[in-house]
A and B are shown apart, each in its own frame.
Chain A
Amino acid sequence: MMRKSNFWGLLFVLPFIIGTAVFFVFPVLFSGYISFTDWDMFNPPKFVGLKNWINSFKDPAFWISFRNVLYFAAIFVPLQTIFALVIANMLNQKIKFKGGFRACYFLPNVTPWVAGAIVWKFLYGYDYGLINYILRSLGFEGSYWYDSDKWWVAIGSLALMNVWKGMGQTMVILLSAMQSVPKEIVEAATTEGAGKAAIFRKITVPMISPMVFLTMILSTISAFTAFDVFLTMFDVYSLPDRNNVVNLMVYREAFIYGKMGPASTLAWMLFIIILIITVIQRKFEKKWVHYEN
């Protein structure tokens, strides 16, 4: 039951009202405004109309950084989803040490990116890296990874690390969804002779598809807003355009070059792109997500 009381209700949510007004509503509106200005944060903003938007749109560096984010997401999201599904499905069987396994898979998720990046840079290292050592002892050649001149190798290495970092969370969400699949359906299918693989494909995955879909949307958004992984793995100050992503561009324009106008424009373009992709994903949702009525 809800009590109607403007006084008490508003008093309780007052911290949120202040917080949202100061740290959300004002910044969003202000950032929208400065995307149409030239501003260095010290002198008053100068209105320049659509200049920043047109310049960003014409800037090849923006399209490269956008391509990189797309590529990053295209590797990260499917891989993370597939691994999380497979591991969650195994943990959903009668298995011992379930808690221990879950903790192992979840551990990367709780550790700070900076520390993770330092280790991964070492693992990916050309001369002394463990990965190249293993490859070389298997008879392959070593390769540069995060520091490769090929953008797709560099960004791809970061996407793989991101799978390591993020998989645990997706797995936990999917596992909890799997645990709510009715046991009777699975048992009925088993007595009719369906194998584990068939049950996974024909029952489990369709039943939890709304949750799979949700985790995919969340991972996509997290791929597009990823910042720490790029900040800690790449050197922001000397990052070549070929490896740039939109988020790092925003940071660099604003806090290294002091160009608040173009930086805000880029941030808004990123937001618009995220919105468009979420809308497209929602359209596809109807095609393959199974909802119970």
Chain B
Amino acid sequence: MKRIFYYIVLTLGAFIMLIPFLWVLSNSLKTVDNVMKIPPQYIPNPITLGNFKIVLNELSFLKYLGNSFFVVVFNLVGTVLSSALVGFGFAKFDFVGKKILFTLMLATLMMPAQVTMIPTYFIWSKAGMLDTFLPLILPAFLGQATGIFLFNQNYRSMPDVLYESALIDGCNPLRILFQIYMPLSKPTMMTLIVLTFIGAWNNTMGPLLYLQSREKYTLTMGLLTLDQSPIAAANVGVKMAGSVITMAPVIIVFLFSQKYFVQGDISSGVKG
């Protein structure tokens, strides 16, 4: 009896969590007249792909989609490389200032973005890099706290014998990391890749501050401006189609990599 009650509550809860997704999908497939119907049409009839055509072609979401992928790919490469390097350094070496640096890393997690926002914007503007993708990409190559944590944990738990024997064979520490340790840390890498993908894809504040010309917009920026535009006010279905396009890639990545995602989330949540 109790178990049936659990299933009912869990299913009801899950359904409530999913309503916004079902609703956005349903309305993205409706015609203009049917979106505003009372009582609402739950399943669109007729089903139309017209909203998607408008969003992708006329409202340049295809371009934004490309921009988002471009930014995300560089974020992935940068974050994985730099976090592995720094995590390895913290895990395997003793050096001057290590304690201070580790404390600083904790501090970066605590500080609200608003405190550093203005000076950071100033740096990019002085460097002449406003309205380029560089402010959204370069920081990823300089290590990121969650990634460093994950790799640090992982490398500390790996046997030192590997290191010693490679050293005797004449490997230098950089090669030891890239050829021996990194291939062994694939689960950590996957976790970080998924977390970084989602973080970079969903980033709103970065594009809002640094991207000015429309053809450079990422999807989140495109959607934000679409939401405030008159075109969308006249046709809610177009906004819904834009939302579906923006959500779909992260949802697909999440569903295929749940295992890594949840693992990473736990360890970053607990250790952070």
Binding site for B on A (CB under 8 A): 1-6, 8-13, 15-20, 22-28, 30-31, 34, 41, 83, 87, 90-91, 93-95, 99-108, 110-123, 127-128, 130, 133, 137, 164, 167-169, 172-173, 176, 196, 211, 214-215, 218, 221, 224-225, 227-228, 231-232, 235, 246-247, 250-251, 254-255, 260, 263-264, 266-268, 270-271, 274
Chain B interface size band reads 35 or more
- Report the minimum CB–CB distance from A40 to chain B (whole Å): 11
Tell me whether A111 and B250 are in contact in the complex, defined as CB-CB below 8 angstroms, given that A95-B3, A128-B36 are known contacts.
yes
Question: Which 7 A-B residue pairings sit nearest by Cβ, starting from the closest?
Answer: A12-B89, A19-B142, A9-B95, A9-B93, A27-B119, A27-B116, A104-B14
Which of B82, B219, B227 contacts A15, CB < 8 Å?
B82
- Report the minimum CB–CB distance from A65 to chain B (whole Å): 12
Do residues A23 and B224 form an inter-chain contact, with CB atoms below 8 A?
no
Cα A23 to Cα B266 in complex, Å, equals: 27
Question: Chain A binding site: helix, strand, loop or mixed by DSSP?
Answer: helix
- Report the minimum CB–CB distance from A121 to chain B (whole Å): 8
Do residues B10 and A90 form an inter-chain contact, with CB atoms below 8 A?
yes
Which of B13, B92, B107, B246 contacts A105, CB < 8 Å?
B13
Per the 8 Å Cβ criterion, residues 239-272 of B in contact with A are 239-240, 242-244, 246-247, 250-251, 253-255, 258, 261-262, 265-266, 269-270
**Extra pairs beyond A12-B89, A13-B86 (13, CB < 8 Å):** A13-B89, A15-B142, A20-B142, A27-B119, A31-B118, A103-B254, A106-B258, A122-B27, A123-B20, A168-B17, A215-B269, A228-B204, A247-B112
Tell me whether A6 and B17 are in contact in the complex, defined as CB-CB below 8 angstroms, given that A22-B123, A115-B247, A250-B117 are known contacts.
no
Do residues B85 and A101 form an inter-chain contact, with CB atoms below 8 A?
no
Please report the number of residue pairs spanning A and B whose Cβ atoms sit closer than 8 angstroms. Answer: 293
- 9 A-B residue contacts at CB 8 Å? A15-B143, A19-B82, A34-B118, A101-B14, A110-B254, A111-B250, A123-B19, A128-B35, A227-B114
**Chain B residues closer than 8 Å to A8, beta-carbon distance:** 89, 93, 95, 173
Binds A, one of B45-53, B96-104, B184-192: B96-104
Do residues A104 and B202 form an inter-chain contact, with CB atoms below 8 A?
no
- Report the minimum CB–CB distance from A267 to chain B (whole Å): 4
Cα A94 to Cα B85 in complex, Å, equals: 42
Which of A12, A99, A232 contacts B88, CB < 8 Å?
A12
Do residues A228 and B18 form an inter-chain contact, with CB atoms below 8 A?
no
Do residues B160 and A99 form an inter-chain contact, with CB atoms below 8 A?
no
Which of B17, B36, B173 contacts A12, CB < 8 Å?
B173
Do residues A110 and B10 form an inter-chain contact, with CB atoms below 8 A?
no
